[in-house]
Amino acid sequence: MKFIPRIVIALAALAAGTGAFAQDKVVMGVSIPAATHGWAGGVVYWANRTKAELEKAHPGLQVIVKTAGSASEQANQVQDLQTVNKINTLVILPFESAPLTQPVAQVKAKGVYVTVVDRGLTDTSAQNAYVAGDNPGFGKVAAEYMAKAMGGKGNVVILRGIPTVIDNQRVDAFNAVMKTHPDIKVLDAKHGNWNRDDAFKVMQDYLTRFKQIDAVWASDDDMAVGVQKAIEQAKRSDVKLVIGGAGSKDYIKKVMDGDKIVSADVTYSPSMIADAMKMTAEARVKGAAMPATTIIPSVLITKDNAAKYYVPDSPF
Do 29 and 81 touch, CB atoms closer than 8 A? yes
Question: What is the average pLDDT across 2-29?
Answer: 51
DSSP string for residues in 54-86: HHHH-TTEEEEEEEESSHHHHHHHHHHHHHTS-
The verdict on 149 and 119 lying in the same domain is no
Residues in contact with 235: Cβ distance below 8 Å, sequence separation at least 6, in sequence order: none
Q: What gap in Å lies between CA 108 and CA 204, rounded to an integer?
A: 43
Q: What gap in Å lies between CA 100 and CA 181, rounded to an integer?
A: 37
Do 284 and 274 touch, CB atoms closer than 8 A? no
Whether 1 maps to a domain, the answer reads: no
Do 236 and 53 touch, CB atoms closer than 8 A? no
The verdict on 197 and 243 lying in the same domain is yes
Confidence bin at 312 (pLDDT 50/70/90): confident
The verdict on 41 and 163 lying in the same domain is no
Task: Assign residue 26 the CATH number of its domain.
Answer: 3.40.50.2300
Whether 83 maps to a domain, the answer reads: yes
Domain boundary residue, one of 224, 244, 266: 266
The verdict on 114 and 47 lying in the same domain is yes
Whether 31 maps to a domain, the answer reads: yes
Q: How many domains does the chain have?
A: 2
Position 215 scores a pLDDT of 98
Q: What gap in Å lies between CA 187 and CA 182, rounded to an integer?
A: 13
pLDDT digits (tens, 9 = 90+) for 237-293: 999 999 999 999 999 999 999 999 999 999 988 889 999 999 999 999 988 878 999
The verdict on 191 and 121 lying in the same domain is no
The verdict on 109 and 121 lying in the same domain is yes
Whether 246 maps to a domain, the answer reads: yes
Whether 207 maps to a domain, the answer reads: yes
Residues in contact with 120: Cβ distance below 8 Å, sequence separation at least 6, in sequence order: 94, 97, 130, 132, 164, 165, 166
Residues in contact with 287: Cβ distance below 8 Å, sequence separation at least 6, in sequence order: 20, 21, 22, 23
Axis-axis angle for helices 221-234, 249-257 (nearest 10): 60
Backbone torsions φ then ψ of 27, nearest 5 degrees: -115, 105
Domain boundary residue, one of 221, 246, 266: 266
Q: Is 17 left (phi over 0), alpha (psi -120 to 50) or beta?
A: left
Whether 4 maps to a domain, the answer reads: no
pLDDT digits (tens, 9 = 90+) for 163-209: 888 899 999 999 999 999 999 999 999 999 999 999 999 999 999 99
The verdict on 170 and 252 lying in the same domain is yes
The verdict on 223 and 153 lying in the same domain is yes
The verdict on 186 and 234 lying in the same domain is yes
Q: What gap in Å lies between CA 200 and CA 206, rounded to an integer?
A: 10
User: Which helix (H) or strand (E) is 267 found in, with range?
Assistant: none
Domain boundary residue, one of 266, 285, 311: 266
pLDDT digits (tens, 9 = 90+) for 84-120: 999 999 999 999 889 999 999 999 999 999 999 988 8
Do 74 and 100 touch, CB atoms closer than 8 A? yes
Position 131 scores a pLDDT of 95
* Three-state DSSP state, 147: helix
Position 166 scores a pLDDT of 85
Position 16 scores a pLDDT of 36
Whether 121 maps to a domain, the answer reads: yes
If you average pLDDT over every residue of the chain, what do you get? 90
Position 197 scores a pLDDT of 96
| Cβ neighbour number for residue 25 with a 10 Å cutoff | 10
User: Which helix (H) or strand (E) is 44 found in, with range?
Assistant: helix 38-57
Backbone torsions φ then ψ of 73, nearest 5 degrees: -65, -40
Please give the residue that has the higher pLDDT: either 275 or 24. Answer: 275
The verdict on 230 and 282 lying in the same domain is no
Position 24 scores a pLDDT of 65
Give the structural domain span for 262. Answer: 135-266
Q: What gap in Å lies between CA 246 and CA 265, rounded to an integer?
A: 7
pLDDT digits (tens, 9 = 90+) for 78-94: 999 999 999 999 999 99
The verdict on 145 and 261 lying in the same domain is yes
Position 22 scores a pLDDT of 52
The verdict on 276 and 257 lying in the same domain is no
Do 17 and 200 touch, CB atoms closer than 8 A? no
Report the relative pairing of strands 9-11 and 293-296 from DSSP bridges. Answer: antiparallel
Whether 115 maps to a domain, the answer reads: yes
Question: What is the average pLDDT across 2-17?
Answer: 38
